[in-house]
Amino acid sequence: MSEIVKNRSEILFLYDATDANPNGDPVDENKPRIDEETRVNIVTDVRLKRTVRDYLHDFKNCEILIREIEYGTGIQDAKIRAEDFLYQKKKSGEKEKVDKSKITLQQMVKTIQNNILEECIDVRLFGVTLPVNKGPKEESSITYTGPVQFKFGRSLHQVDLTFIKGTGAFASEAGAQQKTFREEYILPYSLIAFYGIVNENAAKETLLKDNDIVLLLEGIWIGTRNLISRSKAGQVPRLLIQVIYKENQNFHIGELDRRISKISNKDDKAIRSISDIKIDITNLVKTLNEHKDKIEKIRFKVDERIAFIKDGADISFETILNNFSTEELSF
């Protein structure tokens, strides 16, 4: 059985989007999110977590707490979702529903809490605040801080916000000859960097296991590739690194995303492909080597089309890691 996570680690993830909307803002015409000062593309941590949740549920058959479930004519609210986990497991593995009228609020919270930690990988990874309602006046909640935290993703360059207008598939009304018009905003290209950290101390509270982290990494990589809706198609994972520190270090480098930069002969807004860019990892490699004695292992996966530069010269990613114990991810 996989053990509870005991090592702190950091995650760096690069992916790109071509002719797509990586993360629309629903209060601003669903435009791609852009920093008004720097003109870089922003993708929220919520979007990345949704990618992971959807992949793990749809393709790995993992139970996910935070997902839309039909209930009557609408969808479940949080309190009804909580009651999905109000059961006791028999020795046979069968789940027997518990009558909440026959237990105290404290017993109800404890039962739901134990079951969501055992069943729901997204709670073990990202934490949760879940209200529990026993009766009209009895209310409590289950709260866990997620061991895995991501900053907002940001593009490594300024982006070109493009407005597209086209025709829809149907007429505007019965008998009309002209089709409806479709309007949307896209980014011709955006290379986005996400930084995350796995907190071994919080992992003890949510019972986060090493196998959960491997599934997280798979969800980040393959889940991103599987985003094939109309607005998300054209997204490709390019680089994924997990820097795992030795046990009991209480240390991490921090801001791995700030230790890389893009090199291109083109103006930022003219970049249209990963082939227009090379990633300068000089500062990242320097920092990793400075703290080599604290690093246990580096997991990685690299897309074949991404190119790297160190100290002004082209270099393969595998060569960069010669001084470290490594594990190439096989998904």
Reported confidence tier of residue 304, pLDDT bands at 50, 70, 90: very high
Reported confidence tier of residue 92, pLDDT bands at 50, 70, 90: confident
For the chain, the first-to-last Cα distance in angstroms comes to: 21
pLDDT for residue 19: 94
Q: Which of 164-168, 187-191, 217-221 has the lowest mean pLDDT?
A: 164-168
Reported confidence tier of residue 231, pLDDT bands at 50, 70, 90: low
Percent composition of the chain: helix, strand, coil (DSSP 3-state, to 5): 30, 35, 35
pLDDT for residue 223: 97
Paired sense of beta strands 295-302 and 313-315, if any: unpaired
Mean pLDDT across the chain: 92
Q: Which of 47-61, 224-238, 252-266 has the lowest mean pLDDT?
A: 224-238
User: Percentage of residues in the chain with pLDDT exceeding 90?
Assistant: 80
pLDDT for residue 134: 78
Is the model's pTM score more than 0.85?
yes
Return the domain boundaries, the chain: 9-44+152-328, 70-144
What span, in angstroms and rounded, lies between the C-alpha atoms of 78 and 96?
21
What span, in angstroms and rounded, lies between the C-alpha atoms of 289 and 321?
9
pLDDT for residue 225: 95
What span, in angstroms and rounded, lies between the C-alpha atoms of 14 and 303?
10
pLDDT for residue 78: 86
CB 66 within 8 A of CB 125: no
DSSP string, 229-242: STTTTTEEEEEEEE
Residue 233, token pair as written in the block: 């198609």
More confident: 137 or 76 = 76
Burial class (CB in 10 A: 0-12, 13-18, 19+), 292: exposed
pLDDT for residue 176: 55
pLDDT tens sequence across 58-68: 999 999 999 88
Measured CA distances, 70 to 7, 54, 264, 317, 323 (Å): 39, 16, 48, 46, 52
pLDDT for residue 90: 87
Mean pLDDT of 163-182: 63
| Secondary structure letter of residue 294 according to DSSP | G
More confident: 323 or 155 = 155
pLDDT for residue 91: 83
pLDDT tens sequence across 67-76: 887 666 666 7
DSSP string, 92-126: TS-EEE--GGGS-HHHHHHHHHHHHHHHBHHHHHH
Element (H, E) at 130: strand 127-133
More confident: 180 or 19 = 19
Residue 72, token pair as written in the block: 């009557």
